[in-house]
Amino acid sequence: MARRALITGITGQDGSYLAEHLLREGYEVWGLVRGQANPRVPRVRRLLQDVRLVRGDLLDQGSLISAVEKAQPDEVYNLGAISFVPMSWEQAELTGEVTGMGVLRVLEAIRVCSGITASRGSSARQIRFYQASSSEMFGQVRETPQTERTPFHPRSPYGVAKAYGHFLTQNYRESYGMFAVSGILFNHESPRRGAEFVTRKVSLGVARIKLGMASELRLGNLEARRDWGFAGDFVRAMHLMLSAAEPEDYVIGTGRTHSVRELVEAAFGAAGLDWERHVVCDSSLHRPAEVDLLCADPKKARTQLGWEPTVSFEDLVAMMVEADLRLLADGRDPEQDNPSWP
């Protein structure tokens, strides 16, 4: 029988790439979708036709138990979250509930459906659990590059909520013997990235300027540095972690870091434009507390999982700019369509 996976966050960037990857691997894939009339659900139904959808919300414990009962998964990937860092200052409590407590609710749904108690450990047929942890947990970094052993110092309510989910996943592994792992993923991008994140904001901005639809692009802190990789590479790592012999946490990143300024230079350059003529620095876009520098040491993933990224920073930026030029030239709406969806 095909292995079954349940993915929370199926309507997001990573959910789409992971679903495609698991379908290619022969999995039966279920996706958790929320809301009465979620506008992203028709797109998922149209574009990921082989994925079965089940209703549920990370805020609703009962719905998660029902979803696990219905899907009967072998593997659960918890990708659902409020994932945009600035929003976590505006809606800190909601971020704590969805991004933090949501992890507890998914773990509890698995525990209850598997009949695991404090005195009775996990059964032979375990549901394996993946938690989408984040390099944002490193925050004000204590060392560079960051490894699985680098201490956390989160700088946003989002980072704090992710740290809670991370430690809880570790605790359920240690308390109940569950196969529960966290991938500490550094920034990963694609043409499917939400338009609020800096890479996509820049690729869309470049495309609008190139096509004469805009003349300027307003950005915040150009000096922040991130380790940017391609989302399609990173979802392979999630699957490898749940396929490993032992449950362990892994850092996933490229090991190369670039500033937002370098991103901007590369993106405008890919379209033959001079960024200094178009980019406007807007201090209102600066964050209350910034993460200045992220750079992964992915050695453990390379040696134990055989994971390697395949797309360079330069190729990723060019891919995103080209995709947005095509999207806008076709008159499509970036909020509704994504150029590289299947």
Catalytic residues: 134, 136, 158
Residue 132 engages ligand NAP in binding (rule: CB under 6 A): yes
Q: Choose among ligand GDD, ligand NAP, none what residue 224 binds, the Cβ cut-off being 5 to 8 Å by kind.
A: ligand GDD
Residue 8 engages ligand NAP in binding (rule: CB under 6 A): yes
Residue choice 106, 260, 293, 321 for contact with ligand GDD (CB under 6 A): 260
Q: Tell me the closest approach of the beta carbon of residue 216 to ligand GDD, in angstroms.
A: 12
In whole angstroms, give the CA distance from residue 296 to residue 241. 17
Q: For residues 117 and 69, is the Cβ–Cβ distance under 8 A?
A: no
In whole angstroms, give the CA distance from residue 76 to residue 204. 33
105: amino acid identity, one letter? R
Reported as type and span, the H/E element at residue 239 is helix 231-243
Q: Choose among ligand NAP, ligand GDD, none what residue 287 binds, the Cβ cut-off being 5 to 8 Å by kind.
A: ligand GDD
Residue 336 engages ligand NAP in binding (rule: CB under 6 A): no
| Total interface residues for ligand GDD by CB under 6 A | 21
Residue choice 6, 28, 34, 161 for contact with ligand NAP (CB under 6 A): 34
Looking at 59-67, 195-203, 205-213, 270-278, which segment touches ligand GDD (CB under 6 A)? Answer: 195-203
Q: What DSSP letter does each residue of 162-177 carry, written as one string?
A: HHHHHHHHHHHHHHH-
| Nearest partner of 135 among 125, 122, 150, 124, judged by Cα | 150
Residue 105 engages ligand GDD in binding (rule: CB under 6 A): no
| Nearest partner of 234 among 190, 198, 197, 266, judged by Cα | 190
What size, in residues, is the chain? 342
235: three-class secondary structure by DSSP: helix
Write the DSSP symbol of residue 296. Answer: B
Instruction: Report residue 51: phi and psi, to 5°.
Output: -85, 135
| Total interface residues for ligand NAP by CB under 6 A | 26
Residue 86 engages ligand NAP in binding (rule: CB under 6 A): no
Looking at 62-70, 191-199, 311-319, 330-338, which segment touches ligand GDD (CB under 6 A)? Answer: 191-199
Write the DSSP symbol of residue 134. Answer: E
Residue choice 19, 64, 80, 270 for contact with ligand NAP (CB under 6 A): 80
Residue with token string 């609703």: 60
Q: Tell me the closest approach of the beta carbon of residue 17 to ligand NAP, in angstroms.
A: 8
Residue choice 144, 170, 221, 340 for contact with ligand GDD (CB under 6 A): 221
Q: For residues 185 and 135, is the Cβ–Cβ distance under 8 A?
A: yes
Q: For residues 118 and 171, is the Cβ–Cβ distance under 8 A?
A: no
Draw the binding track, 280-309, toward ligand GDD (x: CB under 6 A; -: no contact).
-----x-x--x---x---------------
Reported as type and span, the H/E element at residue 189 is strand 188-189
Q: Choose among ligand GDD, ligand NAP, none what residue 201 binds, the Cβ cut-off being 5 to 8 Å by kind.
A: ligand GDD
Q: For residues 258 and 228, is the Cβ–Cβ distance under 8 A?
A: yes
Residue 182 engages ligand NAP in binding (rule: CB under 6 A): no
In whole angstroms, give the CA distance from residue 257 to residue 215. 29
Residue 83 engages ligand GDD in binding (rule: CB under 6 A): yes
Residues near ligand NAP, by CB under 6 A: 8-9, 11-15, 34-35, 38, 40, 57-59, 79-83, 98, 132, 134, 185, 187-188, 194
Binding site for ligand GDD (CB under 6 A): 83, 85, 134-136, 186-187, 196-198, 201, 219-221, 224, 226, 260, 285, 287, 290, 294
